[in-house]
Amino acid sequence: MKKNFSTLVNKNTITSLAIGGFDGMHAAHQELFKQLDSNGAILSIESGYATLTPKKYRQEYSKHPIYYYVLDEIKHLAGNKFIELLKKEYPKLKKIVVGFDFCFGKNRGYCIQELKDIFEGNVIVIEEYKIDNIPVHSRTIREYISNGDLKTANKLLNKEYKIYGTQIKGQGLGAKNFVPTINLNVEDFLLPQAGVYISKTILNDIEYNSITFLGHRVTTDGSYAIETHIFDENIINDDYEIQIKFYEKLRDNKKFDSFEELKEQILFDIKEAKEYFINKK
Ligand SMILES: Cc1cc2nc3c(=O)[nH]c(=O)nc-3n(C[C@H](O)[C@H](O)[C@H](O)COP(=O)(O)O)c2cc1C
Ligand SMILES: Nc1ncnc2c1ncn2[C@@H]1O[C@H](COP(=O)(O)OP(=O)(O)O)[C@@H](O)[C@H]1O
User: Is residue 215 included in any domain, yes or no?
Assistant: yes
Verify that 171 and 114 share a domain, yes or no.
no
Pocket test for ligand 1, best of 208, 227, 246 (most atoms within 8 A of CB): 227
Q: How far is the CA of 127 from the centre of ligand 2 (A)?
A: 10
Same domain, yes or no, for 49 and 107? Answer: yes
Residue minimizing CA distance to atom 15 of ligand 2: 20
170 shares a domain with 85: no
Same domain, 120 and 171: no
In a domain, 50, yes or no: yes
Is residue 119 in some structural domain? yes
Do 78 and 39 share a structural domain?
yes
Strands of the 122-126 sheet, one edge to the other:
66-70, 40-46, 16-20, 95-99, 122-126
The residue among 80, 113, 131 that closes a domain is 131
Which amino acid, 32? Answer: L
- Residue 65: its pLDDT value, please? 96
20: Cβ below 6 Å to ligand 2? yes
Residue nearest to atom 9 of ligand 1 (CA): 254
Task: Specify the pLDDT at position 49.
Answer: 86
253 inside domain: yes
Q: How far is the CA of 200 from the centre of ligand 2 (A)?
A: 28
Mean pLDDT value across residues 184-210: 96
Distance between CA atoms of residues 29 and 136, nearest Å: 9
Read off the pLDDT of residues 22-35 as tens digits, 9 standing for 90 and up: 999 999 999 999 99
Atom of ligand 1 nearest to the CA of 229: 31
Same domain for 168 and 59: no
Cα separations in angstroms, 225 against 62, 194, 256, 267: 31, 10, 16, 19
Atom 29, ligand 1: which residue's CA is nearest?
213
Among 85, 70, 78, 81, CA closest to 110: 78
Q: Is residue 1 part of a domain?
A: no
Q: What residues make up the domain containing 189?
A: 161-280
Q: Among the bound ligands, name the one nearest to the CA of residue 115.
A: 2
How far away, in angstroms, is 186 Cα from ligand 2 center?
A: 26
Q: Report which ligand 1 atom has the smallest distance to the Cα of 253.
A: 8
Contact between residue 128 and residue 29 where contact means Cβ atoms under 8 Å apart: no
Q: What is the mean pLDDT of the segment spanning 90-108?
A: 95
pTM of the model: 0.94
Query: Regarding predicted confidence, which is higher, 128 or 179?
Result: 128
Residues 118 and 195 in one domain: no
Say whether pLDDT at 134 is over 80. yes
Q: Which of 85, 115, 131 is the last residue of a domain?
A: 131
In a domain, 148, yes or no: no
Residue 148 CA to residue 133 CA, distance in Å, equals: 20
Query: What SS3 state is found at 190?
Result: coil
Cβ 186 under 6 angstroms from ligand 1:
no
* pLDDT grade for 197, boundaries at 50, 70 and 90: very high
ipTM of the complex: 0.90
Instruction: Answer for the pair 112, 100: CB distance below 8 angstroms, yes or no.
Output: yes
Is 254's C-beta closer than 6 angstroms to any atom of ligand 1?
A: yes
What CA–CA distance (Å, rounded) separates 47 from 225?
Answer: 28
Burial classification of residue 51, based on how many CB atoms lie within 10 Å of its CB (0-12 exposed, 13-18 middle, 19 or more buried): middle
**Kind of pairing, strands 241-251 and 195-203?**
antiparallel
- For residue 110, give the CATH number of its domain: 3.40.50.620
Higher pLDDT, 211 or 6: 211
Task: Tell me the per-residue pLDDT of 235-245, one tens digit each, with 9 for 90 and over.
Answer: 776 667 999 99
pLDDT at 2: 59
What is the percent of the chain where pLDDT is above 90?
80
Model confidence at 225, pLDDT cuts 50, 70, 90, reads very high
Question: With a 6 A CB cut-off, is 172 part of the ligand 1 pocket?
Answer: yes
- Residue count of the chain, please give it: 281
Clarify whether residues 46 and 93 are in a common domain: yes
DSSP state of 131: E
How remote is the CA of residue 31 from the centroid of ligand 2, in Å? Answer: 10
Q: Give pLDDT, residue 66.
A: 96
In a shared domain, residues 185 and 271: yes
Q: Answer whether residue 142 is part of any domain.
A: no
Counting ligands in written order, the one closest to the CA of 222 is 1
Best mutation site among 16, 32, 145 for ligand 2 pocket (most ligand atoms within 8 Å of CB): 32
Give me the number of domains the chain comprises. 2
Looking up residue 266, the CATH number of its domain turns out to be 2.40.30.30
For residue 262, being part of any structural domain is answered with yes
Q: What are phi and psi of 232, to 5 degrees?
A: 50, 30
pLDDT at 171 over 80: no
Q: Which of 131, 147, 172 is the last residue of a domain?
A: 131
Statement to judge: residues 178 and 118 lie in one domain: no
- Rounded Cα distance, 200 and 210, in Å: 5
